[in-house]
Structure 1
Amino acid sequence: MLVPLKWLRDYVNIDKDTQEFADMMTMTGSKVEKVEFFGRETNGVEVCKILEIEQHPDAERLTVTKVEVANGEILQIVTNAKNIKVGDYVPVARIGAVLPGDFKIKKGKLRGVLSEGMFCGAEELTIPSQYVEEHKKDGIYILDHQDSFELGMDVREALGINDALIEFEITSNRPDCRSIIGIAREAAVTLGEKFNYPEIKVNESNEEIDFKVEIETELCNRYCGRVIKDVKVGPSPYWMQRRLIEAGMRPVNNIVDITNYVMIELGQPLHAFDLDDVKTNKMVVKCAKEGEKFTTLDGVERTLTSDMIVVGNGEKTLDLAGIMGGENSEIKETTTSIFLEGANFAKESVRATSKKLGLRTEASSKFEKGIDMNLAEEAINRASQLIEELGCGTVLKGMIDNYPRKQEIQKVVVNPQRINKLLGVNVAMDQFLSILESLEFKCNLISSDKLELEVPSFRLDIVEDADILEEVARIYGYENIPAADLEGNATAGVKTDKQKFMDNIKNNAIATGLNEILTYSFVSPRGVDKINLSQDDLKRDFVKIINPLGEETSVMRTTLIPNMLDVISTNISHKVESVSAFECGNTFTPQDGLPVETKKLCVGMYGKEVDFFNLKGIVETILNNVGLKGYEIEPETTNPTFHPGRCAKVVYNNICIGTFGELHPNVDENYNLGQRVYVAEINTDLVFDNCNGTKIYTPLPKYPSTSRDIALIVKDEVFVKQIEDIIKANSGGLVESYKLFDVYKGSQIEDGYKSIAYSLTYRSSEKTLTDEDVAKVHDKILSELSEKLNANLRSN
């Protein structure tokens, strides 16, 4: 926020050096970003009046002027300026004056004609271009409001450029400081000076106001208004224009400038309507109609929605509440009567409307942070006072004040002793109370450890004792709080079992050749559409972000697969030939209004040497190495994300803990992958709950093993798992291991059938097996395979 120091001095006595004052303000919490000084490098420049302008006798581009300065003294100035005329008041650097760059004005001649000085432009006066009106940027700086200046007076005093401009960085929790008055309050407390609030007194006419206001929405907290007649629209006084320009506002006319002046001074936006455009002598505050069209003051037609607040006359919309007025009721040169509005609108609504429409104004920036409801009345009266004092109009008797829900007085109870302990200092009770009273808190000391505070209405940020602690600390002075060494018992930081388990998962994933990736937890809800999830899938039940940066980051993820596929899609588009990646991250599902986090592992792969069995091997390796025993790999045909014939699930105790396989062609197309991609997603929380990392020692076998190979002819729809289940169930404790070593389909095999070949290893821990022992078990296995799967031994 830009604060002219001259304006600030109206409300508080500042007898410090400007830079010292800026440093003190920063130390008490009002951070100063920059200090700009005006006029320091300009000396000896005075106000003069041009009496004559004649053509130079020997130079076509030069003119010879006669100017009057103090006490009727006449000077002759030769200039090449084209924007001056007789009667203009302009700044002149007399002989001996010093301009920026240590440039001294000397007596001399230009093409043979004596020149006793030099006219000055904005640059010579060290006025930054952003504070100069457009028509004054080129040529000589013409002094407007000429009746306000005395001939010979120092131009720095005449233009108010003999002071400084301070830029403050205002944090979002201190909306009360987004005004000159707010900064003045802080300055008064910082300097220990008295704060002088502007005396507001409205001189009303005898004619009473005939106007009414209706509020039809809860989004309007208060609405105040006054009627001004006999309005004379014209330029505002120079001092007001100057203050507005330095504060970053463009002067328009006296009525608009006064509303802007009060907004900067008090922090309450105001709006003036041309009463002839209102016509109905009534204002209605309500929500807009869905799709309603409204043209704002900037000439842009905007489409409104039903959650936006508008102000109208009951027949048409005149104002987009809290943001910008309408083109159909603006103040014009012909305006003779106005309705002045000072209202308080819900900050959430103004913020949302401003964002939806892409329309941010000085008013909306104040409303969206929150404004004291009491300011509406004060600002209306302050603006009315200025209108009357500057002769801009006549204020009618009475003020409308529709205040349906009055702002309650906030009270906070604190323990001063506890605050002192937390600060590490002993602030005496008298000083403690003095600090809070200087900040306009009303104090009621109940006991030494109980202080009740009535919070001033403009301090919207005070809600608990921690806020009071901060107030005491910053005014007492952080530099006065001694540094202290940390105390406490040092303990060794160790990882939890869950953290160690996740490290083990990652280490095993890396050992299988995967690279770890990290992606955002905030995702787009469209991700579940791209992986083909059904409309009733629980993964569509998102935890939504209240104030997202955009649609792409509006919900919390329920699955890691879309993130993985985004990474894979990016790599494919960059011509990366192969990728083997994994991510360990949280997914989020709503439960009883709160998000429940579930840790998952996601693996993604593609490349020439990658297939379903590579991914299966990686999943099994990771699960085996972290200690999950007794799980089963079963076919999965119903998951819409995966190819129905190339997908499997990991099942433990009839609970699915993960799925892996080749992506469904539709999903492949959604991500423009153009090749086979393999993905797995494992619920590592379930793995952690059921894994057993205990390793049991088994002695080396005493007795020799023997092996038998079998080649079975089975139907295509028979899975190897069915064969293995029968082998395990009928092993009689003698089958030490079995291994699938061949799957064959060809001309020697009947259509609809395949050949499955296994090698079975037999061993006993008690004796050396005979052929008869092995044959008994082996025949039993073959018999069960034949009976249950119609499996026959291959003859060739």
Structure 2
Amino acid sequence: TLDSKQRKLQPGTLMICDAEKPVAIAGVMGGENSEINSKTKNLLIESAYFNPTSIRRTSRALGLSTDASYRFERGTDPSNTLYAAQKAAHLISELGFGKIANGHIDVYPNKISPRIIDFRINSVERILGYKVASDRIIKILSSLGFEVNEKLEDYLKVAVPSFRPDIEREIDIIEEIARIHGYDNIPTISKISVTLQKRVDETEFEDRVRNIANSLGFYEMINNPLVNLKMTSWGQHPIRILNPQNMDMEYLRNSLLPSALSVIARNINSSEKDLRLFEIGKIFYKTTQNQLTSFSDFIESQKLLFIITGNVNLKEWYSNERFCDFFDLKGDINSFLSQISLDYSANDSYYHEGNNLFEYRLTKSIDNKVLGEGGKVKKEVLQEFGIEQDVFAFEFDVSSLINVEKKSKRFTEPSKFPKIRRDFAFVLDKNITVDRIINHIKNKSSNLLTSVKLFDVYEGEAFGSGKRSLAFALEYSSTERTLKEIEVEQDFTSLIKSISETFNAVLRGI
């Protein structure tokens, strides 16, 4: 090329060639073999229009940005090529004493038709806030080189001139009208009526989340939303961008977790193994595997990720070191929800079977709407990032946290009367979640039941394959009177029968 460098071309690169060899990279840079020097006598002037996308792709692939590529990749006037060549020839003849040969060759195999925009006249008033007469609109457009092909009462068909590739939509034409009509002609409005509505400021909520996370001992990380193909392996259908800067920034991320694991891997390699991190960021994914054709074909959502790994307690003279576990993660999540007044509303669901990311997991939900999920990251996933220690993560959907109805905390006076406690244990299928059992107990018991807690989980060969034992503690009380043993016993016996029949469970100890 003209900068005296050899360049390796990618397949599909558009070239300008003579009958024997290439002489230029089209729209980017000419070749050294066709460079003008002091001995040049004859010139061939070539004036062309190139597809902007093709030139941009070639320029990025070669890492070569020139004045030519800057212009061509932004769009030039395809109807101006002959005039430009004639103007160049005239200047050479006038200033360089050259002689212009007769004739020219004009090749235009695929003629580019002018862009036609359907323009609604009333859109001017709707966007700008004041009315411009239709005759004035047509006069402005004509003075700028636009053609009005069809005129109806409130509708125009406008042909965009070829030298204005920046005009693509109706709003672009309105901007031109406002510019020529004059910004100083925009009328001043002395009074304006505004209807105030309650709205949630997402930025304010995110700042609050950051403050809470920091108070819980988490440090914020900010990762690039552009990732490589490998980083999209654990999320839903990824979206590839059309002109990536490089292969490591080819896709929009469809999960926050892979980027977070990369951060953890880099820190571990730097001997920082005890980490508590969080990130607020957007993820993107297609609703199907098909190509994107409209905005409804993909989802963009804001997520909040908490991730922990390493020691909770370091080894001291008074204590041993302790590695973080699932319950540390759960405690952090509950503390976070408590700070935003959702801890009393959220329900827990535990799943011993994992998914493509977690060995086992926990979900938080309110009124059957999932707020987020997390658990222990699978070892196979960690191995992809070279991580050998356990990692625990939980991801919230931010819009769900914002939109859920907050329940205010209220003080309840402690009961003056004694409580009665009962407990039972059942052997049942492992695929029956604790959450289902607790909800069943609450729904089937009387209003005397004030508390249900799981206090033991046991699995053993004696129960058989796919079985486990769950033990629950129940607490009965009243704020008005002392309970009788018989009424508690009736409710307790009824619950045992209901659980046994509903879940095909066997009461232990019988």
* 2:65 maps to 1:360: yes
Q: Which amino acid aligns with 2:229?
A: R
- Aligned match of 2:220 in 517, 523, 534? 517
Aligned partner of 1:242 in structure 2 is none
Distance 2:159 2:369 in 1: 59
* 2:325 maps to 1:611: yes
Equivalences for residues 101-500 of structure 1 within 5 A: 296-313=1-18, 316-331=21-36, 337-388=42-93, 394-406=99-111, 458-461=163-166, 464-471=173-180, 473=182, 481=184, 487-489=190-192, 496-497=199-200, 499=202
- Partner of 1:402, secondary structure, is coil
Distance 2:437 2:147 in 1: 84
What is the TM-score of this pair, normalised by structure 2? 0.69
- Aligned match of 1:707 in 421, 425, 442? 421
Q: CA deviation at 1:612?
A: 0.7
Aligned partner of 2:258 in structure 1 is 562
Q: CA deviation at 1:410?
A: 7.8
Aligned partner of 2:379 in structure 1 is 665
- Partner of 1:344, secondary structure, is coil
Specify the structure having the higher radius of gyration (Cα). Answer: 1
- Aligned match of 2:391 in 677, 689, 702? 677
Distance 2:236 2:157 in 1: 49
Aligned partner of 2:315 in structure 1 is none
Please say if residues 428 and 505 of structure 2, whose CA atoms lie closer than 8 Å, have aligned partners that are also in contact.
no
Q: Determine which structure has the larger strand proportion and give its number.
A: 1
Please say if residues 627 and 691 of structure 1, whose CA atoms lie closer than 8 Å, have aligned partners that are also in contact.
no
Instruction: Give a deviation string over 1:346-393, Cα, whole Å, max 9, x none.
Output: 233222212211223333233223333344223333443455557776
- Partner of 2:505, secondary structure, is helix
Instruction: Give a deviation string over 1:201-229, Cα, whole Å, max 9, x none.
Output: xxxxxxxxxxxxxxxxxxxxxxxxxxxxx
Equivalences for residues 526-541 of structure 1 within 5 A: 526=229, 528-529=231-232, 533=234, 539-541=235-237
Q: CA deviation at 1:678?
A: 1.2
- Aligned match of 1:593 in 294, 305, 311? 294
Please say if residues 785 and 791 of structure 1, whose CA atoms lie closer than 8 Å, have aligned partners that are also in contact.
no
Distance 2:403 2:199 in 1: 14
Distance 2:158 2:496 in 1: 89
- Aligned match of 1:737 in 451, 454, 464? 451
Q: CA deviation at 1:401?
A: 1.2
Please say if residues 436 and 472 of structure 1, whose CA atoms lie closer than 8 Å, have aligned partners that are also in contact.
no
Aligned partner of 2:347 in structure 1 is 631
Distance 1:673 1:350 in 2: 42
User: Given the superposition, is the C-alpha separation of residues 492 and 656 from structure 1 closer, same or farther in structure 2, using an over 3 Å criterion?
Assistant: closer
User: Given the superposition, is the C-alpha separation of residues 333 and 693 from structure 1 closer, same or farther in structure 2, using an over 3 Å criterion?
Assistant: same
Distance 1:451 1:719 in 2: 65
Distance 1:672 1:775 in 2: 56
Aligned partner of 1:44 in structure 2 is none
- Partner of 1:661, secondary structure, is strand
Please say if residues 628 and 687 of structure 1, whose CA atoms lie closer than 8 Å, have aligned partners that are also in contact.
no
Bigger shift: residues 513-522 or 608-617: 513-522
* 2:209 maps to 1:506: yes
- Partner of 1:598, secondary structure, is strand
Bigger shift: residues 484-493 or 518-527: 484-493
- Structure 2 stretches lacking a partner, 5+ long: 288-292, 313-323, 461-465
Please say if residues 302 and 397 of structure 2, whose CA atoms lie closer than 8 Å, have aligned partners that are also in contact.
yes
Distance 1:552 1:494 in 2: 43
Q: Which amino acid aligns with 1:641?
A: L
Distance 1:735 1:548 in 2: 60
Identical positions, percent: 28
- Partner of 2:307, secondary structure, is strand
User: Given the superposition, is the C-alpha separation of residues 303 and 759 from structure 1 closer, same or farther in structure 2, using an over 3 Å criterion?
Assistant: same
Please say if residues 322 and 364 of structure 1, whose CA atoms lie closer than 8 Å, have aligned partners that are also in contact.
yes
Please say if residues 603 and 681 of structure 1, whose CA atoms lie closer than 8 Å, have aligned partners that are also in contact.
yes
User: Given the superposition, is the C-alpha separation of residues 705 and 411 from structure 1 closer, same or farther in structure 2, using an over 3 Å criterion?
Assistant: closer
Aligned partner of 2:356 in structure 1 is 640
Please say if residues 713 and 753 of structure 1, whose CA atoms lie closer than 8 Å, have aligned partners that are also in contact.
no
How many residue pairs align between the two structures?
470
Q: Which amino acid aligns with 1:792?
A: G
Instruction: Give a deviation string over 1:270-327, Cα, whole Å, max 9, x none.
Output: xxxxxxxxxxxxxxxxxxxxxxxxxx34444433344432222455433321223334
Superposed CA RMSD: 5.4
Distance 1:389 1:501 in 2: 66
- Partner of 1:345, secondary structure, is coil
Q: Which amino acid aligns with 2:303?
A: K
Bigger shift: residues 339-348 or 724-733: 724-733
Aligned partner of 2:508 in structure 1 is 791
Q: CA deviation at 1:679?
A: 0.6
Instruction: Give a deviation string over 1:470-514, Cα, whole Å, max 9, x none.
Output: 2564xxxx8xx5999874447697651585995798389549715
User: Given the superposition, is the C-alpha separation of residues 655 and 527 from structure 1 closer, same or farther in structure 2, using an over 3 Å criterion?
Assistant: farther
Distance 2:128 2:370 in 1: 52
User: Given the superposition, is the C-alpha separation of residues 315 and 629 from structure 1 closer, same or farther in structure 2, using an over 3 Å criterion?
Assistant: same
User: Given the superposition, is the C-alpha separation of residues 489 and 571 from structure 1 closer, same or farther in structure 2, using an over 3 Å criterion?
Assistant: farther
User: Given the superposition, is the C-alpha separation of residues 650 and 458 from structure 1 closer, same or farther in structure 2, using an over 3 Å criterion?
Assistant: closer
Distance 1:443 1:707 in 2: 85
Instruction: Give a deviation string over 1:650-677, Cα, whole Å, max 9, x none.
Output: 4667775532111112332333444322
- Structure 1 stretches lacking a partner, 5+ long: 1-295, 534-538, 747-751
